Amino acid sequence: MAWYADSEDCLHAIADAEVVWLDFGIENIERVIEAGRRLRWVTMAATGVDSLPLALFASRDLVLTNGAGLGATPISEYVVMALLAGLKGLPDLVRAQDRREWLSRPPRLDELHGRRALILGYGSIGRAIGDRLRSFGVTVTGVRRNPGGEAGVIGSADWRARLPETDLLIVSVPLTGATRAVVGQPELDALPRGAWVANIARGALLDETALVTALKSGHLGGAYLDVTFTEPLPADSELWALPNLILTPHSSWATEKLTRRAVEIFLANLDRYRRGEPLGNVVDLEAGY
């Protein structure tokens, strides 16, 4: 067993390794993978793999496992928090508190109860979001590439037809060539006036220019973004100043329990690896998630 502290250390530690845990801060991943000539299995705590050289993994016949499911609890809590904050006007209430101003009436009178949510990407995170929204009386429809006849779940070819009856559109799908800019002006225009959009996956899934237009026009009631096309978000971005937009700095995954959960997944997989059994959380290198 070998440990590493940075990318250079990893180059040396990986030389004779069959298994490597890629840390979040590792750079020049292609170089690192090429240095591990005995590698068979690469694992990571992150869920998204769109920044990895998947073609290289495939050419080396490497198994890649990720942290799918690790962030389901904190991310779903963030989504509910942001939607409730937006619908109740919490940002205006906080700003009024900063001004020491007692408002004469609440800034908004909306409820989650009775709303209809469409969750684009109904994996572990999408399901956790759906579970929490249902507890607030929200009707939830999930979208999966292969719905498998599950009640309340539709296929990837059917979700756009549901947009006119969707109050909350939540984007929780992996970023691949097929999903880049999957939500653009046509999709936003198809939503009913006053709908909300939330994106907690990748900024490139959503056309930000179209989003700004829809928010400024009042067509959308609001939006929640934990991710943006450029991160960190530039100081001159229009997104900062939109009053009906709630922004968090790609922090919805954050929890003090993340490392423990990641270790539990890894150790369970390590037992399977030693026994020659199929691993869990295996990434489909061709599909990209």
- Write down the domain spans for the chain: 7-69+255-275, 72-247
pLDDT of residue 25: 83
Structural contact between residues 225 and 214, judged by C-beta atoms closer than 8 angstroms: no
Question: Which residues are 116's β-sheet partners?
Answer: 139
What architecture (CATH level 2) is domain 72-247? 3-Layer(aba) Sandwich (3.40)
Tokens of 12: 């040396």
The whole-angstrom separation of Cα 239 and Cα 199 is 14
The correct answer on CATH 3.40.50.720 for the domain covering 7-69+255-275 is yes
* Residue found by looking up tokens 């199929």 in the block: 278
pLDDT of residue 89: 97
Instruction: For residue 31, give every residue at least 6 positions away whose Cβ sits within 8 Å of its Cβ, in sequence order, or none.
Output: 11
Task: Name the nearest CA neighbour of 215 among 247, 232, 239.
Answer: 239
Q: pTM for the full model? A: 0.94
pLDDT of residue 57: 97
7-69+255-275 matches 72-247 in fold: yes
* pLDDT beneath 70: ranges in the chain: none
| H helices present in 89-167, as ranges | 90-98, 124-134
Helix, strand, or coil here: 119? strand
* Cα radius of gyration rounded to whole Å, the chain: 21
Cα torsion 200, 227, 266, 128 to 10°: value is -10
pLDDT of residue 140: 98
pLDDT of residue 49: 94
Q: What beta strand segments (E) does the chain contain?
A: 19-22, 41-44, 63-65, 116-120, 139-144, 153-155, 168-171, 195-199, 220-225, 245-247
